[in-house]
A and B are shown apart, each in its own frame.
Chain A
Amino acid sequence: DAGVIQSPRHEVTEMGQEVTLRCKPISGHDYLFWYRQTMMRGLELLIYFNNNVPIDDSGMPEDRFSAKMPNASFSTLKIQPSEPRDSAVYFCASSPTSGRAEFFGPGTRLTVL
């Protein structure tokens, strides 16, 4: 298995632009997680899905952030409009069981200028 796949690996954009991050989880994993990592706040859970259904989005910072999972093999995290404080590394993770984000992707490093 190729593991969790994320794209792009790096994204540089200007403030106000829309950003879409993509994730392909490991096949057969029912849980998908989106995390954000910064030096100041560490690794924070943004949202997670179970069988393509969003279960807990309380970590989504504000309405500018949205996430979808149209099928079991694909998820997106969108930021519109982006702001410099959104600069961080965004990780997608998947797991066959709840509460255990066992397999992380390589992350997308987002820089908003």
Chain B
Amino acid sequence: TQLLEQSPQFLSIQEGENLTVYCNSSSVFSSLQWYRQEPGEGPVLLVTVVTGGEVKKLKRLTFQFGDARKDSSLHITAAQPGDTGLYLCAGAVYSGAGSYQLTFGKGTKLSVIP
């Protein structure tokens, strides 16, 4: 059972369009992170959200953490070819003794066509 469901799995859009990708779970997370991964490289952290309802902006990217801290969304405005990549969300769950377990979704593969 996948703890974190990401949708859509694949997304191909034209440059300049807007898009939203989703990360959903039935579990409550202490925090949630979004990463972007390009082919042949490791994931790169974009943002960490901690508080339910929190909204963070990173240039054209807007991240929102659900009020119940079970889901999150990533909205990209005026997508550019440089936004192409695999977007991964990861949720942290407290596992005891001061440690947290991080679980990743399978990702949304975004292609932005010039």
Contacts and interface: CB of A to CB of B under 8 A. Distances in A.
B104 interface: yes
B44 to A, nearest CB: 7
A36 B90 CA distance: 15
Contacts of A104: 35, 42-44
Contacts of B107: 42-43
B95 A45 contact: no
Given A107-B41, A107-B42, A42 B106 contact: yes
A70 B87 CA distance: 33
Given A42-B107, A56-B95, A98 B100 contact: yes
A25 interface: no
A101 B41 contact: no
B44 A99 contact: no
Interface residues of A, number: 23
Contacts of B13: none
Nearest to A39: B106
A110 to B, nearest CB: 14
A44 B97 CA distance: 22
A102 interface: yes
A41 B90 CA distance: 14
A64 interface: no
B103 A106 contact: no
Interface string B38-52: 001111110010000
A41 B4 CA distance: 12
Interface of A: 4, 33, 35, 41-45, 50, 55-56, 91, 93, 98-107
The 7 closest A-B pairs by CB, nearest first: A99-B100, A104-B42, A99-B92, A42-B106, A43-B104, A98-B100, A102-B45
